[in-house]
Amino acid sequence: MSTDIPNMNGPVSVNIDGGLDLDRAVIVALGCNDKGVWPSCRDALEAALARFRFEGLDVIEQSSWWFSRAWPDPDDPPFLNGVVILRTALDPHALMAALGRIEETFGRRRGERNAPRTLDLDLIAYGRISGDLDGLILPHPRAAERLFVMGPLAEIAPDWIHPDGGGRAADLAATAAVGRDARPDR
């Protein structure tokens, strides 16, 4: 288990000669099933992505939006989910704080677990970091079992390898047990 944080003397560069260096990928999952003040969850998610740059988060790859029933309660409104790969100068804790500020700006109120939410931003991976960083667990401990995360990730980075040796994104998407109904919303 490695908890070494990469050199943060500048942006984490995941582009090398136009290609992705997946060993340095900073991956964030987005979700919405309560549109709040926005016309739709798609509009809310797109607006959230526009806010990323204000927080020092440059989106360099973005999946399509994926539709799925709410989990664990399929009677809740359905979700729209996606995944982005970022370039940032923020360390993992500062990145989590920035994601929290964006969620708050979009009306996210934490209360009942798994309740409908206007915006859900999860740090899935920060390069190859694996372990507990003072309460921040990387990679995200449940991402590999969720099709609504692994499906979008496999769409943009099928060869990304889970830092804990859990396999390629494409393979994890094929075996994910949670959210099996997740599909691209085209």
Residues with active-site annotation: 108, 117, 120, 122
Got the DSSP string for 21-50?
Answer: -GGG-EEEEEEES--TTSSSHHHHHHHHHH
Closest by CA to 36, choosing from 121, 133, 108, is 108
Closest by CA to 154, choosing from 138, 173, 167, 140, is 173
Q: Extract the tokens encoding 63.
A: 């999946």
Backbone angles phi, psi at 57, to 5 degrees: -115, 110
Q: Extract the tokens encoding 21.
A: 């260096």
Closest by CA to 125, choosing from 33, 21, 52, 27, is 27
Q: Are strands 79-88 and 66-68 parallel, antiparallel or unpaired?
A: antiparallel
